[in-house]
């Protein structure tokens, strides 16, 4: 019997070393959604920047919004909801997308 104890025999999960299976989905960076700004609609009011709870939106000197901290964005959609001109839409981030 060696060192194969009765404990491991009764609780095989303790010694299982195979692949873990399940239905849990892990969001990868590729799947995350980020705000996209329609600068034709945008009237540079800065509301989105002020309401973002993560400080993820920055403003250029002319008031044009941009995603300042992509990693800080948690896709809460508050900016999208608060924009008075429907100029923000959360989109799935594309591989290699800089915004």
**Choice between 30 and 74, CB closer to ligand SF4:** 74
Residue showing tokens 């960076």: 29
Task: Identify whether the C-beta of residue 84 lies closer than 8 Å to the C-beta of residue 45.
Answer: yes
**Choice between 3 and 69, CB closer to ligand SF4:** 69
> Under the rule (CB under 6 A), what is the footprint of ligand SF4?
35, 37, 42-48, 52, 54, 56-57, 65, 73-79, 83, 85, 87-88
Give the whole-angstrom CA distance, residue 71 versus residue 19: 30
Give me the least distance between CB of 55 and ligand SF4, in Å please: 8
């Amino acid at each position: 019997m060696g060192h194969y104890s009765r404990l491991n025999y009764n609780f095989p999960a303790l010694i299982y070393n195979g692949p873990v299976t399940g239905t849990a989905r892990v969001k990868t960076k590729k799947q995350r959604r980020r705000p996209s700004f329609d600068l034709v609609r945008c009237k540079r009011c800065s509301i989105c920047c002020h309401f973002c709870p993560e400080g993820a939106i920055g403003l250029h000197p002319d008031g044009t919004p941009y995603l300042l901290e992509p990693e800080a964005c948690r896709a809460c959609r508050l900016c999208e909801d608060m924009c008075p001109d429907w100029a923000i839409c959360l989109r799935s981030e594309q591989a290699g997308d800089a915004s």
